[in-house]
């Protein structure tokens, strides 16, 4: 048992519980995804020993090696980085959930690769709520059309939306972006598109996860607060 890691994880879990309590939400509807990009397998194994079960990776090459070396079927891996179509075949083999689908081209390739291995791949649609040119994600105006188009791909299952808001010094500044993601979730949900489930909202990181929980996050992606600064 790594006592420093254990303490960080306990602290985060307490903050999640407290925030959920303050806004009248059930802690069980908020999933903690431990972000392990640039974190060595040894430390990830220790995090598993502390009870964490869901991990997020950002780079295909790095995650292929790590997931193989950790080789633990009781945990679940999520892909949270930018995904290129030519890496789709690895992504469907490695990940239980892909958070970052933002184009029909990528969706079609994931569908094709998932079909090859007889899998229905769970995905989220990444929305660029801040309309930043530096960030991936479909624009808020186009997300409904993307959802409708993906609804007809039989080897993909849309579970919800994901976003990375613009960076601000104060976490309160990002609240409107989280609120916008939630509004988009409602809009898409009201369309009742076959094969589209809008249960999940993946939003919130180390600096702003409490705001995200308040605004309805069901998945928060936390790296630094668990593992420390990445080297």
The residue of the chain with the least Cβ separation from ligand PLP equals 223
Could you count the other beta carbons within 10 Å of the beta carbon of residue 155? 17
Residue 179 CA to residue 223 CA, distance in Å, equals 23
Pick the piece of the chain touching ligand PLP (CB under 6 A) from 14-22, 129-137, 153-161, 205-213.
205-213
Q: Of the candidates 124, 147, 205, 211, which one interacts with ligand PLP according to CB under 6 A?
A: 205
**Sign, Cα dihedral of 184, 13, 97, 170:** positive
Pick the piece of the chain touching ligand PLP (CB under 6 A) from 68-76, 104-112, 138-146, 202-210.
202-210
Number of residues lying near ligand PLP (CB under 6 A)? 13
Given its phi and psi angles, is residue 64 left (phi above 0), alpha (psi -120 to 50 degrees) or beta? alpha
Least distance between ligand PLP and beta carbon 224 (Å):
3
Least distance between ligand PLP and beta carbon 121 (Å):
18
Pick the piece of the chain touching ligand PLP (CB under 6 A) from 16-24, 39-47, 69-77, 217-225.
217-225
Q: Crossing angle of helices 143-151/104-116, nearest 10°?
A: 20
Residue 89 CA to residue 74 CA, distance in Å, equals 22
Least distance between ligand PLP and beta carbon 164 (Å):
5
Least distance between ligand PLP and beta carbon 148 (Å):
25
Count how many residues are written for the chain. 231
* CA dist list (Å): 220 to 87, 99, 127, 152, 153: 25, 12, 15, 28, 27
Least distance between ligand PLP and beta carbon 152 (Å):
27
If one asks whether residue 35 binds ligand PLP (CB under 6 A), the answer comes out as yes
Pick the closer one to ligand PLP by CB: 58 or 193. Answer: 58
Residues 126 and 163: beta-carbon distance below 8 Å:
yes
If one asks whether residue 224 binds ligand PLP (CB under 6 A), the answer comes out as yes
Nearest to 125 by CA among 77, 159, 79: 159
Binding residues for ligand PLP (CB under 6 A): 35, 37, 58, 80, 164, 205-207, 221-225
């Amino acid at each position: 048992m790594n006592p420093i890691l254990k303490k960080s994880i306990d602290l985060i879990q307490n903050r999640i519980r407290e925030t959920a309590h303050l806004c009248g939400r059930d802690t069980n509807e908020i999933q903690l995804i431990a972000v392990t990009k640039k974190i060595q397998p040894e430390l990830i194994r220790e995090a598993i020993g502390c009870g964490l079960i869901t991990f997020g990776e950002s780079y295909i090459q790095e995650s292929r090696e790590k997931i193989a070396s950790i080789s633990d079927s009781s945990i679940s891996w999520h892909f949270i980085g930018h995904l290129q179509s030519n890496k789709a075949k690895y992504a469907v083999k490695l990940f239980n959930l892909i958070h970052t689908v933002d184009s029909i081209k990528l969706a079609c390739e994931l569908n094709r690769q998932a079909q090859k291995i007889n899998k229905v791949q769970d995905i989220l649609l990444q929305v660029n709520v801040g309309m930043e040119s530096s960030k991936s994600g479909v624009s808020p105006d186009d997300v409904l059309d993307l959802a409708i188009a993906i609804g007809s791909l039989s080897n993909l299952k849309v579970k919800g939306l994901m976003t990375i808001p613009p960076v601000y010094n104060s976490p309160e500044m990002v609240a409107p972006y989280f609120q916008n993601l939630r509004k988009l979730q409602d809009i898409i949900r009201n369309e009742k598109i076959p094969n589209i489930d809008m249960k999940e909202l993946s939003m919130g990181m180390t600096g702003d996860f409490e705001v995200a929980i308040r605004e309805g996050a069901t998945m928060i992606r936390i790296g630094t607060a668990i593992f420390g600064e990445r080297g």
